[in-house]
Amino acid sequence: MTTRQSGNEAGARRWSAALMNNYGTPAVTLERGAGSHVWDADGRRYLDLFGGIAVNVLGHAHPAIVDAVTRQVGTLGHTSNFFATGPAVELAETLLRLTGFGDQGRVLLCNSGTEAVEAAFKIARRTGRPNIIATRNSFHGRTMGALALTGQASKRTPFEPLPAGVSHVPFGDVEAIRAAVDDQTAAVVLEPVQGEAGVVLPPEGYLRAVREITAEHGALLVIDEVQTGVGRTGSWFAFQREGITPDVLTIAKQLGGGLPIGACIAVGPSAQLLTPGLHGTTFGGNPVCCAAALAVLRTVAEEGLLDNVDRVGKVLTAGIESLEHPLLAGVRGSGLLIGVLLNRPVAPQVAEAARAAGYLVNPTQPDVLRLAPPLILTSDEAEGFVRDLPAVLDAATPADEKESGD
Ligand code: PMP
């Protein structure tokens, strides 16, 4: 029999310079997870509202994923996409059913969000038209094509020159799209909700209007649902809330519930543009990742998690909205993608105070905390966070702003 030692006794490794530092030195080393909780190397427990950056739909160590992955890795772990496998075929067919694209769609499986977007970029290039319209403050990934679409100077500038032909218009502004799109436009690329920008929602009807404009000019509409897809906003895909069909859809993050998998799904004529030999990736369609994705999709459906997203999302947004605190400016979101807006650029300090109180949250922007918890989060867990938030905000309030008390 083995006994679980605490991280310290087991000699758990903490931050090491052997790891390239992407986001700043992590303050905590996580060791294990179960349900919506994770534990650090010292055995401290956190409610995971960070969700692996909107990935862990079924929380941690969900038996459906554990079983599916264990079975598949012991059966056929990898083949490359020179070969079809049962899990890849079933996943593609399931995605075409859930998106409603049916036999009009073709699924290209890859390993991440940025790769799904790169494939969409290549499809846009294959139209033969030179220009792509994306939106300001958008985030589409960090590889060079996806970065060219990303509308944030801080991420782009250090890597210029980027692939040419992309211009950025204000997000949520139909007239800006109308003015920018013409018969030289290959594609308009959009997030239904700008996640990394701080959970920014467009006005209702935006996607519908952009769909009409792109169709008028024969330009593709590429919807990037890497962050909003697979139930995050309470429907399988956010585009379905506006009753439109995109030409290209990109998904990743929550699709694998923690295993690295993404997909670029092309619909109708755009599905014919990447002909054999033009694109590929060694790990795309990996059967273990596909098995995990199938377990995710099945469990979201079987456990009624889309309804849970609506229900628990409302508990969080309504609860936070009802709070009054000098640091709190408001809350916005869709389903379980929620931005907590702060009056001051203290999101990193609030995230740190939250961690000390047992919650992991993502300081997405200097003045926005993003909550992207597992879709299995319960109302009780959400209410607990709402109850503790004022004390967390107190703890993060700069000393010179605290009342002296006399
Ligand atoms: N598109 C969107 C909308 C995203 O939010 C992200 C990741 N935050 C990406 C693309 C890139 O995904 P990945 O990090 O898996 O490359």
- ipTM, 2 dp: 0.99
Active site includes 224? yes
Query: Among the options 224, 239, 367, 385, which is catalytic?
Result: 224
Q: Which two tokens stand for residue 390?
A: 């004022």
CATH 3.40.109.10 describes domain 76-303: no
Taking only Cα atoms into account, the Rg of the chain, rounded to an integer number of angstroms, comes to 22
Percentage of residues of the chain with pLDDT beyond 70: 96
> Average pLDDT in the 38-51 region?
96
The verdict on the CB of residue 359 being under 6 Å from ligand 1 is no
- 140 CA from centroid of ligand 1 (Å): 5
Q: Mind listing the pLDDT tens digit for each residue in 234-274?
A: 999 999 999 999 999 999 999 999 999 999 999 999 999 99
Q: Which CATH architecture has domain 7-61+304-399?
A: Alpha-Beta Complex (3.90)
Strands across the sheet containing 328-334: 328-334, 337-342, 368-371, 362-365
Decide if pLDDT at 99 tops 80.
yes
Q: How high is the pLDDT of residue 395?
A: 97
Which amino acid, one-letter code, is at 287?
P
Mutate to test the pocket of ligand 1, among 55, 139, 190, 370 (most ligand atoms within 8 A of CB): 139
The verdict on the CB of residue 117 being under 6 Å from ligand 1 is yes
CB 208 within 8 A of CB 172: no
Q: How high does pLDDT run on average in the chain? A: 94
Q: Mind listing the pLDDT tens digit for each residue in 281-307?
A: 999 999 999 999 999 999 999 999 999
Beta strand 262-267 with 105-110 is antiparallel
The verdict on the CB of residue 201 being under 6 Å from ligand 1 is no
The verdict on the CB of residue 224 being under 6 Å from ligand 1 is yes
The verdict on the CB of residue 362 being under 6 Å from ligand 1 is no
Query: Could you give phi then psi for residue 232, rounded to 5 degrees?
Result: -55, -35
User: What is the number of helices (H) and of strands (E) in the chain?
Assistant: 12, 15
pTM of the model: 0.95
pLDDT band at residue 13, thresholds of 50, 70 and 90?
A: low
Q: How high is the pLDDT of residue 403?
A: 57
Q: Mind listing the pLDDT tens digit for each residue in 126-158?
A: 999 999 999 999 999 999 999 999 999 999 999
Q: Mind listing the pLDDT tens digit for each residue in 49-59?
A: 999 999 999 99
Mutate to test the pocket of ligand 1, among 109, 140, 201, 368 (most ligand atoms within 8 A of CB): 140
Query: Can you give the residue ranges of every domain in the chain?
Result: 7-61+304-399, 76-303
Atom of ligand 1 nearest to the CA of 114: 16
Nearest to 315 by CA among 257, 254, 373: 373
CB 198 within 8 A of CB 339: yes
> Average pLDDT in the 22-38 region?
90
Q: Mind listing the pLDDT tens digit for each residue in 347-406?
A: 999 999 999 999 999 999 999 999 999 999 999 999 999 999 999 999 999 887 765 444
Nearest to 22 by CA among 56, 53, 44, 49: 53
The verdict on the CB of residue 151 being under 6 Å from ligand 1 is no
Q: How high is the pLDDT of residue 138?
A: 98
Atom of ligand 1 nearest to the CA of 252: 15
